[in-house]
Amino acid sequence: MEQSQLVTLLNEMSLEEKIGQMLQVTGMFFEEEGIVTGPENIAGYTEDEIRQAGSMLGTVGAERLKKIQKEYMEKQPHHIPLIFMSDIINGFRTIFPIPLAQGCSFHPELVEEGAAIAAKESAAAGLHLTFSPMADLVRDARWGRVMESTGEDPFLNGCLAKAMVKGYQGTDGLKAKGKIAACIKHFAGYGAPTAGRDYHTVELSQRTLQDDYLPAYKEAVDAGAAMVMTSFNTLDRIPSSGNRKLMREILRKEMGFNGVVISDWAAIEELVCHGVAKDQKEAAKLALEAGVDIDMMTSCYCKSLKELVEAGAVSELLIDEAVLRILNLKNELGLFENPYKDGDVSDENALILCREHREAARRMAAETFVLLKNDKMLPLAKKEKVAFIGPYVLSRETYGAWSMFGTCEATVSLEDGVRKKGALEIFTAKGCDLPEDIRETGAREELLQEAVALAGKADKVVLALGEHRMWSGEAASRGEITLPDCQMELFRQVQAVNPNVAVVLYCGRPLDIREISEKSAAVLVVWMPGTEGGNAVADVLYGDTNPSGKLSMSFPYCVGQAPVFYGQLCTGRPFQEGSQEKYVSRYIDIPNKPLYPFGYGLSYTEFTVSPVELSGKQMSKGEQIKASVMVKNTGTRKGQEVVQMYLGDVCGSVARPRRELKGFRKVCLEPGEEREVCFEIREEMLRFHDINMDYVSETGEFKVWIGNSSDTENEAAFLLIE
Ligand code: GLC
């Protein structure tokens, strides 16, 4: 449809019909007879309100969605199609690693490929839009939703959010076959809840919000994401879904976003709980004025907006602008011409979990694993007698909490993967249970003793331990970030009879693994690796794939350090490691440094990085400096290294992070191979919000570090001059 035709359509629509477009409900309201009169209808929708709803979430399947769309459009006064949306966070039916793991790949092309496969599968299943990428910056491991983010660094998150948008949407328009619209979430700052407790208050300065938390959303907006979702939290004590400054000033005016804004689930009605709206009607007014176009799963809009317009409390023009954005999105998706888009049962059956997609998931998973420690323990040799012990040896629940359409049946367990390697002698034992309910993690003596006996007879032990997949994700914050006592007991008893233990760690967040790190011979973090996890872990354990992952989020020494991240400010009393000074910024009982920092990860080979070479010692604002190093594979295996460049502003009009990631290159080197890795330092990399909140760079001294972790000391200095 032409734009003019959309406006004509808008003008033909009644006020009720327009308001209907601003409601989103789950598919159960379109499928189950009588649901409107049933107890699930807590919002009290009427038949007519459901009939007018403009979009639907959470239901998939080409046949099901075709049926819903056909029946819906027949009743819809202007035959306007529904948009079908869902949470495709890390894959549709072929499940990829959780985004926090994908961040460890430092491989945007791989992340883009994963998103493109998720789009292909879900589009064939009739979906039009995904509530992804989650571009929230995360620095507190207590928060369960860190698993949905790509980590603690604004630059890395921006690169990967852009890659996901490109993978989902493509570059030829949303009508393109096998593509779905992307929705950036949760705008904004949801990843910084006080005390790491989900849905809690967020207290960020404007400058920290602008310099650290907004950049990744901005990258996704610039990449053309079609929709933005509001966040549950308050910013400066104003809930996002009623925050006009955040939505109309920052998102739309400053960032230039002109797509659809959808509330998070019930977030408009929650303005009443936040205490900024006395009732649903006031909540509807606040949200509409803030520029929220779609009300997800409450009846604030559908039951209040008409009355508010008729009472002159809100202008119908605000409704028109919202509805026109919604109609635009449907038009960009081509739904007026083809309301079923790519929904097709034969495509769905051919694409879902196909070999090509499984291979891509296996390849990506292996690149997300982070080898934290390896005392000549890995890789395993096939002639070795290895005992595989732990609840994750047999488990197929190795996909993240937001893998809504993943299944155990489709998932490869660690045992499946390892047995296919054809090793001479491997044994398996569960060792302990891992129930979904975090409170029920008691030990069972017979499981424990069976495992210990096995460990005593093996050359080496692989202990597959970790969190249950539902101990992270939404509403899954943890005050303690340790493994269950029964797993630690298993670890201690196994390690006591056989010190050759490699721990394979399944988790949705960084955990407190002090004891495991100290006593194990090797530690491999595999996060929640998805459908092909078992094969990917076996590939790495037996050396068919050399691990190359780098932490996307710091592993704290213990939960007391949270939030901990590499880019902290210096403070007026910086603590120097090893110093005995008392009156400095430090703890008296734990170290300041995390157990393992952002950007850290080992390989089965070794790399050296030469001192930093600069093309010049100073640059003016129109110039740039080339920074380069020679990277050499000094080991015996081919491997990939992530070379990272950090910049640090020595002195600014406001306190500046000690260092900030501004570039990375993932290079693959044969044994003995050496390669120059170059970065351009440009003035725009040095910009920040200065004392006046202007986004500028300031002249003065800067440091540059280039290495294979955020704590690299390989540094040089340069000046920025007028
Ligand atoms: C949830 C989540 C959001 C998700 C939405 C729809 O509450 O906060 O990330 O996209 O509801 O499922």
Pocket around ligand 1 at a 6 A CB cut-off: 57, 87, 131, 185, 264-265, 474
Q: How far is the CA of 4 from the centre of ligand 1 (A)?
A: 34
Q: How far is the CA of 59 from the centre of ligand 1 (A)?
A: 14
| Phi, then psi, of 26 in degrees rounded to 5 | -80, 165
Q: Which of 28, 89, 131 to mutate to test the pocket of ligand 1 (most atoms within 8 A of CB)?
A: 131
pLDDT for 71 equals: 95
**The pTM is what?**
0.98
Decide if pLDDT at 443 tops 90.
no
Which residue's C-alpha comes closest to atom 7 of ligand 1? 265
pLDDT for 33 equals: 84
| Phi, then psi, of 134 in degrees rounded to 5 | -80, 110
Distance in angstroms (rounded) separating the CA atoms of residues 126 and 84: 7
Asked about 437 being catalytic, the answer comes back as no
What is the atom index within ligand 1 of the atom nearest the CA of 134? 9
Q: How far is the CA of 265 from the centre of ligand 1 (A)?
A: 6
Decide if pLDDT at 442 tops 80.
no
Which residue's C-alpha comes closest to atom 10 of ligand 1? 131
Chain-centroid distance, C-alpha 338: 32
Distance in angstroms (rounded) separating the CA atoms of residues 194 and 191: 9
Cβ contact 633:671 at 8 Å: yes
Q: How far is the CA of 390 from the centre of ligand 1 (A)?
A: 32
Distance in angstroms (rounded) separating the CA atoms of residues 317 and 522: 62
What is the atom index within ligand 1 of the atom nearest the CA of 148? 9
The tokens 């009739």 sit on which residue?
126
pLDDT for 603 equals: 98
Decide if pLDDT at 699 tops 90.
yes
Average pLDDT rounded to a whole number, residues 387-412: 98
Range of weakest confidence among 183-192, 431-440, 600-609? 431-440
Distance in angstroms (rounded) separating the CA atoms of residues 91 and 74: 32
Going by pLDDT thresholds of 50, 70 and 90, the confidence category of residue 230 is very high
pLDDT for 34 equals: 85
**DSSP notation for 654-697:** S--BS-EEEEEEEEEE-TT-EEEEEEEEEGGGG-EE-TTS-EE-
Distance in angstroms (rounded) separating the CA atoms of residues 109 and 56: 31
Nearest-10 Cα torsion for 268, 270, 273, 277: 0
Which residue's C-alpha comes closest to atom 6 of ligand 1? 265
Distance in angstroms (rounded) separating the CA atoms of residues 507 and 511: 8
Decide if pLDDT at 225 tops 80.
yes
Average pLDDT rounded to a whole number, residues 130-143: 98
| Helix, strand, coil % over all residues of the chain, rounded to 5 | 35, 20, 45
Which residue's C-alpha comes closest to atom 11 of ligand 1? 265
Average pLDDT rounded to a whole number, residues 430-451: 91
Catalytic residue among 264, 295, 347, 512: 264
Q: How far is the CA of 56 from the centre of ligand 1 (A)?
A: 13
Average pLDDT rounded to a whole number, residues 98-109: 98
Question: Where do the DSSP E strands lie in 526-656?
Answer: 607-609, 613-614, 618-620, 624-633, 639-649
Q: Which of 60, 84, 264 to mutate to test the pocket of ligand 1 (most atoms within 8 A of CB)?
A: 264
What is the atom index within ligand 1 of the atom nearest the CA of 186? 9
Distance in angstroms (rounded) separating the CA atoms of residues 231 and 387: 46
Mean pLDDT, the chain, rounded, equals 97
pLDDT for 32 equals: 87
Q: How far is the CA of 218 from the centre of ligand 1 (A)?
A: 20
What is the atom index within ligand 1 of the atom nearest the CA of 232? 8
Which residue's C-alpha comes closest to atom 1 of ligand 1? 265
Specify the amino acid at residue 107: H
Element (H, E) at 385: strand 385-389
pLDDT for 440 equals: 83
**DSSP notation for 8-68:** HHHHHS-HHHHHHHTEEEETHHHHSTTGGGSTT-TT---HHHHHH--EEES---HHHHHHH
Element (H, E) at 361: helix 355-368
Q: How far is the CA of 87 from the centre of ligand 1 (A)?
A: 7
Q: Which of 87, 129, 241, 261 to mutate to test the pocket of ligand 1 (most atoms within 8 A of CB)?
A: 87
Which residue's C-alpha comes closest to atom 12 of ligand 1? 87
Counting residues of the chain whose pLDDT is more than 90, the rounded percentage is 98
| Phi, then psi, of 612 in degrees rounded to 5 | -70, 130
Decide if pLDDT at 441 tops 80.
no
Question: What token pair was written down for 21?
Answer: 């477009």
Average pLDDT rounded to a whole number, residues 238-255: 98
Decide if pLDDT at 312 tops 90.
yes
